[in-house]
Amino acid sequence: MARSTGTGKKMVVWGILGLLIVGLGGFGTANFGGTVNSVGKVGDRDIDANAYANALTSEISRFEQQIGQPMSIAQAEQIGIPERVLGQLFNQAALDNETARLSLSVGDAAVREQLLSIPSFQGLDGTFDSASYRATLSRVGENPTSFEAGLREDLSRTLLQGALTTGITMPEAYGDVVVEWIGERRTISVAILDQNALLLGTPVPTEVNIKEQYDATPEAYTTPETRDVSYVWLTPAMLADEVDLDEDSLRQIYDENIEQFIQAERRLVERLVFGTAEEAAAASERLAAGESTFEDEIAARGLQVIDTDMGDVSRADLGRAANDVFSLDVDGVSDVIETDLGPALFRVNGLLEATEVSFEEARDDLSIEMAADAARREISDMLEDIDDLLASGATLEEVAQETRMELGTMGWTPASEEPIALYTDFDAAVQAASTDDFPEVIQLSDGGIFALRLNEIVPATLKPLDEVRDQVIADWQVKESARQMLVRAQELESQVAAGTPLADLELPMETFDAITRQDFISTMPEGFIDAVFAPELKAGTTTLVQGAGQVVIASIDAVMPPEDTEENAAIADSYITSAAQGAAQDVIAAFSNALRARDGVSINDTAISAIHAQLP
């Protein structure tokens, strides 16, 4: 398979440099001052407390994005995030210690080149802006001297890492093996055997069969633990119809939020700012002559399209450029326009017509919002009286009689679907309750309130056979039909092995030509692809794949190697690169561990605890 050479080696070095640049993005974003200066050291190299706090916060944020919910420091500790971050910092410190011992450092030119390439320090024209540089560092409590020293240290560490990983590659055979596995093609013919193919039709159980099924799967016929609960509750929706709506108040809400209801005509606009009028005029001429595109001009200034995007703007947002921009059609580019930022070209990507929702049109929605808000306030005003009632020993039944709260009872299980059981606050309270608890008012997410009493916990109970007989029979029939279908399929598979063509089985058939392990066939049972691509199956063999209510007899008609395509070559290169990077990381980790063992490691548990205490 044709492919480029040296990819793995190059990607290892550039991958490490990329991690360095990304790491600079969070530099100095936290400040744990006072006596907390270091969380540990390797040899003579201290690990700064701020560096640990920033790295830990970044790692927790990254994990929060993956799971889609906030994470506390206690939860992070449970899954080992702090230990992992500390390990990475100790490895870095060990490498920094070694670069200092070897007197290994980069020159000023390398530091300058790296500094100029950091996007956060660039102006609108895409070049380094010293004012932006100093302002950015100042916002995070940093100064150029210490930042540039840290940058030099990072680049020096990268030199050492590069020396360690130079020459680490993986053989081409590694990529070939992966592609041969992923890209192998097979043509599969299938015969589908279902309930209709059973010679005796739907099986009928005996009493012995029914009893055996019941005894074998008691969990299927057991009611879950049930919590017998009494509760009172009140929500804004229960009171909304009783709220008197004040027309003047509705009008006031409308006026205070007028921008939501009346929006001026807007444009989706991109703005490309130039350093001089001459540069802007030259770009405008190239665009007019068709010699370049707006994207070309953006790239020529070292920017990306997102850097020029102004979003949706009104005339007021554009100032002196408003008339010219609003006269453009979609994809139109303006002439050079002087702006507060300098000469610029504007491009229009979309038109957003003016919208207006009158008070009369908005009134119903405003009424719902106002009624709900008033109901929430009314419920809030009731809280103290209801708390007093419960504190005085009033039962839930008495609270329901003396207030507007509604009384209810239920046998709660995790599958309950009563309206109040749809609130997670209620479910959590039920699960945490004990029969000795006194009812207390708990708020719901929509501004409602409730109080509950756990009367009894009914343990999980096996239902009598007579009560679930129909279900037991149905379950046995499904199980027995599957068994009979498998037996029948095995008989038919034996016939195919003896030379009977699959088509002669008089079953529904289908053929899948040149499929790969990456394909998905929705009409086939789960696990079909894995089954027909089992390595031991050769052309001319068969296998059975069971599914819900069916058994598939699959015949391997042909086994073919992967296609020789650019896509497969790219896959091979990607796996070679990935493996080489993994090997390089292993080498760096092993070297760092050896340095830590040689130079000694100390950990400041007090400092670490102090940092954790300041995190949510």
**Tens digit of pLDDT for each residue in 115-148?**
888 887 887 777 788 878 888 887 767 788 888 8
Asked whether residue 258 is domain-assigned, the answer is no
Other Cβ atoms less than 10 A from the Cβ of 500: the count is: 13
Whether residue 149 sits in one domain with residue 90: yes
Contacts 24+ apart (CB under 8 A), 120-128: 120/25, 122/302, 124/273, 124/307, 124/341, 124/342, 125/273, 125/274, 125/275, 125/301, 126/301, 126/302, 126/303, 126/307, 127/302
Say yes or no to pLDDT of 191 above 90. yes
pLDDT of residue 489: 92
Tell me phi and psi for residue 153, to 5 degrees.
-65, -45
**pLDDT surpasses 60 at 33:** no
C-alpha 92/C-alpha 52 separation (Å) is 12
pLDDT at 5 over 70: no
| pLDDT of res. 244 | 67
Tell me how far apart the terminal alpha carbons of the chain are, to the nearest angstrom: 53
Tell me the average pLDDT across 578-587.
89
Least confident of 76-90, 134-148, 378-392, 536-550: 134-148
565: in domain: no
Lowest-confidence region among 48-52, 418-422, 447-451: 48-52
pLDDT the model gives residue 325? 93
Beta strands in 439-548 (DSSP E): 442-443, 449-458, 461-462, 509-515, 542-547
Q: For residue 35, what pLDDT is reported?
A: 52
Residue pair 516/563 in contact (Cβ under 8 Å)? The answer is no
**Are 20 and 135 within one domain?**
yes
Give yes or no for residue 565 having a pLDDT over 60: yes
Q: 158: pLDDT confidence band, cut at 50, 70 and 90?
A: confident
**Which 8-state DSSP code applies to residue 275?**
S
Residues 105, 156 contacting (CB under 8 angstroms): yes
> In whole angstroms, what is the distance from residue 197 CA to residue 482 CA?
12
Is the same domain home to 336 and 201?
A: no
Q: Does 387 share its domain with 269?
A: no
The whole-chain average pLDDT of the chain stands at 86
User: Which residues make Cβ contacts (< 8 Å) with residue 509, sequence separation at least 6?
Assistant: 189, 190, 191, 192, 502, 503
Q: How many domains does the chain have?
A: 4
pLDDT of residue 306: 85
> Which of 602, 609, 535 has the alpha carbon at shortest distance from 42?
602
- pLDDT-derived band at 408 (thresholds 50, 70, 90) equals very high
Proportion of the chain above pLDDT 70, given as a percent: 93
φ, ψ of residue 36 to 5 degrees: the values are -85, 95
316-341 pLDDT tens trace: 889 889 999 999 998 999 999 998 88
Contacts of 575 (CB under 8 A, 6+ apart): 174, 175, 178, 179
Partner residues linked to 347 by β-bridges: 270, 333
What residues does 234 pair with on adjacent strands? 449
pTM for this model (two decimals): 0.50
Q: Are residues 293 and 427 in the same domain?
A: no
The Cα-based distances of 206 to 286, 359, 473, 478, 487 in angstroms read 88, 72, 9, 15, 20
Residue 18 pLDDT exceeds 60:
no
> What local confidence, expressed as pLDDT, does residue 27 receive?
38
- The CATH number for 454's domain is 3.10.50
**Residue 261 in 3-state DSSP?**
helix
Phi and psi (nearest 5°) for 444?
-100, 165
Please tell me whether residues 448 and 492 are part of one structural domain.
no
Determine the structural domain holding residue 534 and report its residue range: 185-220+467-560
What is the rounded distance in angstroms from the CA atom of residue 484 to the CA atom of residue 200?
10
Torsion angle in degrees (nearest 10) through CA of 109, 110, 113, 119: -140
Q: Is the pLDDT of residue 32 over 80?
A: no
Any domain includes 89? yes
pLDDT digits (tens, 9 = 90+) for 289-310: 999 999 999 988 888 888 888 8
In terms of domains, do 232 and 291 share one?
no
Task: State pLDDT tens for residues 238-272.
Answer: 887 776 667 777 788 778 778 777 778 889 999 99
Q: Which two tokens stand for residue 185?
A: 């093609």
- CATH number of the domain enclosing 93: 1.10.4030.10
Structure tokens at 136: 């950015």
CA atoms of 565 and 560, how far apart (whole Å): 14
Name the phi and psi angles at 608, rounded to 5.
-65, -45
The answer to whether residue 434 sits within a structural domain is yes
Q: Are residues 303 and 239 in the same domain?
A: no
**28 vs 170, higher pLDDT:** 170
d(CA 175, CA 16): 22
Cβ atoms within 10 Å, residue 319 = 10
pLDDT digits (tens, 9 = 90+) for 455-466: 999 999 999 999
Same structural domain, 207 and 315: no
DSSP run (H or E) holding 348: strand 342-352
Q: Does residue 284 lie within any of the structural domains?
A: yes
Helix ranges restricted to H, 25-107: 49-67, 73-78, 81-101
Rounded mean pLDDT of 413-420? 93
Q: What is the CATH number of the domain that holds 315?
A: 3.10.50.40
pLDDT higher at 183 or 6: 183
pLDDT in tens, 76-125: 999 999 999 999 999 999 999 899 888 888 888 888 888 888 887 887 77
The pLDDT score that the predictor gives to residue 264 is 80
Domain assignment present for residue 175? The answer is no
Is residue 153 domain-shared with residue 50, that is, in the same domain? yes
What mean pLDDT comes out for the span 194-219? 87
- The residue out of 324, 353, 382 marking a domain boundary is 353
- Boundary (domain end) residue, out of 459, 477, 504: 459
* C-alpha–C-alpha distance, residues 562 and 178, integer Å: 11
In a domain, 591, yes or no: yes
Would you say residue 342 has pLDDT above 90?
Answer: no
Task: Give buried/exposed letters for 427-439 (b at 16+ CB in 10 A, else e).
Answer: eebbeebeeeeeb
DSSP per residue, 533-591: T-TT--TT-EEEEEETTEEEEEEEEEEEPPP--HHHHHHHHHHHHHHHHHHHHHHHHHH
Q: What pLDDT, on a 0 to 100 scale, did the predictor assign at position 4?
A: 41
198 in any annotated domain: yes
* Cα 518 to Cα 184, 186, 453, 521, 529, distances in angstroms: 10, 12, 54, 10, 8
In 464-508, the DSSP E strands lie at none
Residues 6+ apart with CB under 8 A from 33: none
CA distances from 274 to 245, 288, 292, 319, 346 (A): 56, 17, 16, 18, 11
Q: Residues 193, 82: one domain?
A: no
Q: Give the domain-ending residue among 406, 434, 459.
A: 459
The answer to whether residues 511 and 603 belong to one domain is no
User: What is the per-residue pLDDT for 7?
Assistant: 34
Three-state secondary-structure class, residue 473: helix
